[in-house]
A and B are shown apart, each in its own frame.
Chain A
Amino acid sequence: MVAIDDGFEALLEPFYNGKKLTDPISTPEDKYQLLPAFLKVKGLVKQHIDSYNFFINQELKEIVKANRLIKSDQEENFWLEFTDIRVGTPSRNDFSDIKTRNDVTPMECRLRDLTYAAPVVVDITYSRDRKKIIRKDIQLCRIPVMLKSAKCYLNGATNAQMEIMNECPLDPGGYFIIGGTEKVILIQEQLSKNRVIVEADEKTGGVSASVTSSTHERKSKTYVVLKKERIMLQHNVLVEAIPIVIVLKALGGMSDYEILKLVAGENARYQDDFLINFEEAAKAGVHTQQQALEFIGVRVKMGGPKNKPFSMSARRSPVEEGLDALANIIIAHVTIQGLDFYPKAIYIAMMVRRVLMAAQNPKLVDDRDFVGNKRLELAGQLLSLLFEDLFKMFVNSLKGNMEHFFKKPNRTSTYDPVGPISSQGNYITMGLNRAIQSGNWTVKRFNMNRAGVTHVLSRLSYIAALGMMTRISSQFEKTRKVSGPRALQPSQWGMLCTSDTPEGEACGLVKNLALMTHITTNVEEEPVKNWIFSVDAGVEPVRKFTGAEMHSPGSYIIHLNGTPYALTRYPKRFARKFRTMRRRGYISPFVSINLNEHFAAVHIATDEGRICRPYIIVKNGKSKLKAEHLKLLQLGKAGFDDFLTHGVVEYLDVNEEQDTLIALYEKDITLSTTHLEIEPFTILGAVAGLIPFPHHNQSPRNTYQCAMGKQAVGAIAYNQFNRIDTLLYTLVYPQRPMVITKTIQLVHYDKLPAGQNATVAVMSYSGYDIEDALVLNKASCDRGFGRCQVFRKYTAELQKYPNGRRDRMGGRDKLDDGQIISKHAALDDDGLAIVGYRVQSGETMIKKETPLDQASTGIGTDRGPDEFRDVSVNYRISDPAYIDKVLITNNEKDSAIVKVQTRQTRRPELGDKFSSRHGQKGVVGIIVDQEDLPFSDMGVVPDIIMNPHGFPSRMTVGKLFECLTGKASIIHGRPEYGFGDAFRSHPAESMGQALIDHGFSWQGKDYFTSGITGEPHLAYIYNGPIYYQRLKHMVQDKMHSRSRGPRAILTRQPTEGRSRDGGLRLGEMERDCLIAYGASQLLLERLMISSDGTEVDICQQCGLFGYKGYCQTCKSTSQVTQMTMPYAAKLLVQELISMNVGVRLQLEDEFPHPK
């Protein structure tokens, strides 16, 4: 493979702490270098890409293989088989052989509102006139391509190639482009499939074991419930719970004694607890397998499998029903071969045993929130679910098409499936596109209906986009008032970021991956099965044993993906040997093995979606990572995968982690240590990794920063000026933070930063700095501090109508004297704004015109008017902007689209929001002239003055450290001190020493003189550079006032919201205040006169509304009076009348006339 410049090379160079290549390597200091090596092959967004690649290269073929054959019911000789399926490279939809270039870049898709998709082709063989016809490369459908996946042009592209494609080399990829918008399929968290979970019901005291079986055919959940000391089996397909002994009897071939042994073994307590269940069977009169099957068959829900054709002979007997249910529906993932139900019996017995154990010892219930019991579903898995469903539908509709053809009594031609395949395949394309576009994942077979699976990739800042790629959304309902799923779980350590979660509703439910997390893809079971028997002597298939043998003390059952598979008497030896084989590379590194002494079980997992991360292996108290390994790494002669196969590092999933003793630092290693952490700061994710000294901050502050880092204005991507985003904020002078972390380098935040290093003085000044307000230096703002650009997109599509008419661009309107009207001042001859022109509010940017006649057929006399109506796109914001770009192109529907981008440059103003990297946000309270600001003896004037009251309650000590470290590093010169990594930062003493060495106070405080009086400040002012982020919330976008303006049509009340020039609402609580105060006239004015007061005529005789002084009901004018009332009240009265509720208004004088 070509060496890809992905920016990690420089990091592998050992310049940390000023080290050179020739300097000696110390493993505890330099082992972090494994991290960039890891990120090169795995981690962050690579999981999305790996998962998608797995889907494209393997799952897709499997799905087609499972549904390969179509046979006609009408024509017996006809058959069609899909022999292969392949995904091509992304191409334009209007593919044709004539065109020289059909491949499409992601950038083109973004700009032209296309879908970045690749054609999927199939090979088929089918019969025609008893001959076998083979056709290859028939286009089936188009599948959206994940950026940077194996099929994407960006995969493996060098920086130079990326530049040609107008792509940013730092872009993480891992998302899709559907109709020009970037869509991410979020990682979905759910409870693991095919594993038994034992839970206690706290109310009833009952214990239940449940398992969600998931196979390609169906998903179902089976429960084994202990209720009133009796154990029952529950399943959706069964009308009622069935006593467990009946189920076990139905599985056949076991005497009561054998059943007892299989469940309870030799343990007398379990036997006692279980014995009662035999009575249940006896009471039901079930003694034989036949009786048991009948008992179950009767209780199987009617209908059975739906897609059975009705040609099948009459209804099946209860015994058959029972057999079918047991074989295929209940615990479907344990497959039955040749009516041998013993494995399923073992499985159910295991569940029963777990229930009995949990009933005896409540500690043995499982924890749903334990990360090891969870699986993460990625884009590839979700797509494969969807594709499988769509492909099955496609096969059905293709078959329908076929049958329709063969039904014809006298056919003129032979059947050619190529045309139908391509036309029916279009439904797959549409289905996939629609699902990713809308985020609604609907798979009817599994009753799956999930909304909000996909999100638009947030491009507010680079870190926002990156944060989105690592986000995990949970399937739990947000309304449930249990804290468990939201709480920080100890097993999240190192796997999920401890800080990055939103506040409020989704707190703890939306999580983020930590830096070194990897999510497994499926590993084939077969080779692992072989290894289980060959790796250690004395491992026998569990199939061969009776319950007594299985549960005899010292026997351990080896479970493969949760299913009992083999039996061993030497579990530790087995596990050790198994691990050795894995470390040597014979078994996939992502297969995990762990022992469970409580259940006497060895668990081996090969399934997908497990969370794991790498560790350094420690043996006999010695780390396997040696200096020479790091040397090889630096020289580029070894990569992470080499270390993996050489047994230096290995991946552990959360379950296997439980069997280990992991040392945090090399100095902590003892003889019993099994593993060593690669880097402690990988406990945090990419977004939390931006924070310097996070280990010195109060924890919620780090969480706040994680939310705010995503709102920071800065550089988005290298191609930011080539993109046309709906809304794009960029900083004019973004700076690399003075104090950085390793994570910042790893995620390349230093190349696309979002903030500036401001010299901050911590002191109070002017009183305009209360409540976290900041004082800004005017000269700093003049020189470009916080200056940002705002780009906005305006689009228009020139549509075509069925009657042949189409939208058009209009020319400029002119006054009588030939002068162009001011509204069209920015327009050019073509009706589009001129690049570089300044547009004011109300001016037209795109003069689009649409035909009045859109509905007529245009045939004969049915022609509408030939006029056009102006539907131009106008600039509506009160502050002017410049036209930055104009794009005219065609979209997929082949209609022209016009995109106009405007640009504004803004300097900080009063009320703009800023934040440091420690969850300390504040608005600009005052902007002060430089000469009025305090200055140090060296003439240093701060850019920002921050009020010290921000510190005591927030406890953001990290910010103080950042300031000190930053100051030391600017005074001393980089890169000696500029690191603020979590758990490995430089000690503050060395910073202080550096300051002292250069004649400063070690505390970071300086002597400041007031700029106003010229006197020194009595206190020494803590000052230094702190990285400040400008947040996207700006006064200009928010400020709003209204004296009069538009009203809503229905209620005649003022409209709502700034965008509609709405009024400011005097709400209920404000109203309450006024009532309490007794300001009745003010209330009247606010609620009626300034809102929807209307003059109405009311007839005092009938109490109904009159009109123009005349009452229609009473046919008189005598009793009609006028009054003012809210229009909404008038509306209510009339609406009530309209639904036959009588309403009469009775008026009386509040101050009756003295008679």
Chain B
Amino acid sequence: MDYGTTNPDEVIKHARIDKTPTVKISHSDALRCKFELKDTTMDFANTLRRVMLAEIPTIAIDLVQIEENSSVLADEFIAHRLGLIPLNAEGVKKLKSSRECDCDEYCDQCSVTLTLHAKCTGEENMQVVARDLVPAGDRLNDHIGTPVITDADGQGPLILKLRPGQEIKLTCIAKKGIAKEHAKWAPSAAIGYEYDPHNKFHHLDMWYEENPKKEWPPSDYATWEDPPDETQPFQFDAEPTTFYFNVETAGPLAPDAIATEAMEVMMMKLAGLVNELTAGEGGSGANGLESPGFGGGGGDGWQDGYTTPSGFGAGGGGNQSSWGGGGGVTPYGTTPYGGSGAPSW
């Protein structure tokens, strides 16, 4: 991508795509979802990818109260393993973040409690698996917090093994969180992302030994786009607008839900930002929650030291439809500063 232009007006014009982005899902099952994101910019596509990886709220075990542990593994060892067990995150939106909840430590509104009690009474070593984690107390719905079990035996991930006579008894508190804080809250396992199967933009140099055609087998998406017209001159200022995603879930959310969740998270973030900015324009703290240094600064105050999420300015125009009124044209979007669309580093 060409970052050479410094004239902000040109950049905006250049980057703006006058169409609404569209999503075409080509494949979807319980594990993965493949879709094509069309008529948008690379910034937006990458933002979507990053949000899917790091910012979708899910639920994972965060606190472990150990009552009895005579297994060979140390308490924090087991706690770490428990944290990594994927839990069903259906309806996690309704769950409060435990940091914002009014309760002291945790409550039914901001957490799901799971209990584990196993004792090996037989002669053989015993396996304690995720299935043995039993949700306790009131839950928002019947699914949230249940360990995700996908294996054929219905056992779920192995937590630990017990020798005859050993016992484990503990209570887990699962909380809402995002993968930015800890990877256990990541909903997805791997996200494939590609564009331009024919290398029309020459973003790749396609190094080859003898024959590039032979050595670079075409991508699955090669048939989705027209091959480049060799007779046409190379479009040096063209930009990719179509992106192919391959989202694989770790279990907490359905793969297509990950994508839609991610959009929602993005929108909420932008909405929050826009809200702040418009509030700042009006000169009054909209909800009185923000810090004085932030809200009081007004139109100029935020410029020093506040970096905007990239892609907003560029993608904003075509993307705010679902969010509604007036947000698309913010004072922010018109400033030369915000319009560059350049990543923060």
- Chain A: residues with CB nearer than 8 A to chain B? 721, 732, 778-780, 782-784, 787, 789, 836, 882, 884, 903, 905, 929-931, 935, 937-941, 999, 1001, 1007, 1009, 1011-1016, 1018, 1020
Contacts and interface: CB of A to CB of B under 8 A. Distances in A.
Given A779-B179, A937-B219, A939-B190, 10 more contacts: A721-B72, A784-B80, A787-B80, A882-B75, A938-B192, A939-B248, A941-B190, A1007-B204, A1014-B43, A1018-B204
B193 A938 contact: no
Contact of A789 (B74, B184, B189, B207): B74
Contacts of B217: 999
B54 A931 contact: yes
B247 to A, nearest CB: 9
B183 A931 contact: no
B190 A905 contact: no
A884 B69 CA distance: 12
A389 B165 CA distance: 53
Contacts of A1007: 204
A938 B49 contact: no
Given A882-B75, A931-B54, A1013-B1, A939 B191 contact: yes
A970 to B, nearest CB: 15
Contacts of B46: 1011-1014
Nearest to B80: A784
B2 to A, nearest CB: 11
A783 B205 contact: no
Interface in B41-65: 42-43, 45-46, 49-50, 53-54
Interface residues of B, number: 40
12 contacts: A789-B77, A905-B74, A929-B54, A930-B183, A931-B50, A935-B193, A937-B194, A939-B189, A941-B190, A1013-B42, A1013-B46, A1015-B1
B343 interface: yes
| Listed residue (B72, B183, B246) with the most chain A CB atoms within 10 angstroms of its CB | B183
Contact of B246 (A732, A789, A931, A939): A939
Interface in B167-202: 179-180, 182-184, 186, 189-194
A905 B75 CA distance: 10
Contacts of A787: 80
A1015 B195 CA distance: 9
Contacts of A884: 74
Nearest to B77: A732
A659 B219 CA distance: 63
A980 to B, nearest CB: 26
B76 interface: yes
A999 B343 CA distance: 33
A938 B77 contact: no
B86 to A, nearest CB: 12
B45 A1014 contact: yes
Nearest to B66: A836
B187 to A, nearest CB: 13
B76 to A, nearest CB: 5
Contacts of A939: 189-193, 246, 248
B190 A836 contact: no
B49 A931 contact: yes
Contacts of B215: 1001
Contact of B42 (A780, A789, A937, A1015): A1015
Nearest to B207: A1020
A1018 B205 contact: yes
Contacts of B72: 721
Contact of A782 (B77, B183, B207, B246): B183
B182 A782 contact: yes
Nearest to A1018: B205
A1011 B190 contact: no
A1015 B192 CA distance: 13
Contact of A836 (B75, B77, B248): B75
A903 B75 CA distance: 10
B186 A1016 contact: no
A1001 B207 CA distance: 11
Nearest to A1009: B193
A938 B80 contact: no
B193 A1014 contact: yes
A939 B249 CA distance: 12
B50 to A, nearest CB: 4
Contact of B186 (A779, A882, A940, A1011): A779
Contacts of A1016: 203-204
B263 interface: no
A905 B77 contact: yes
B306 interface: no
B76 A882 contact: yes
B140 interface: no
A1011 B179 CA distance: 15
A384 to B, nearest CB: 42
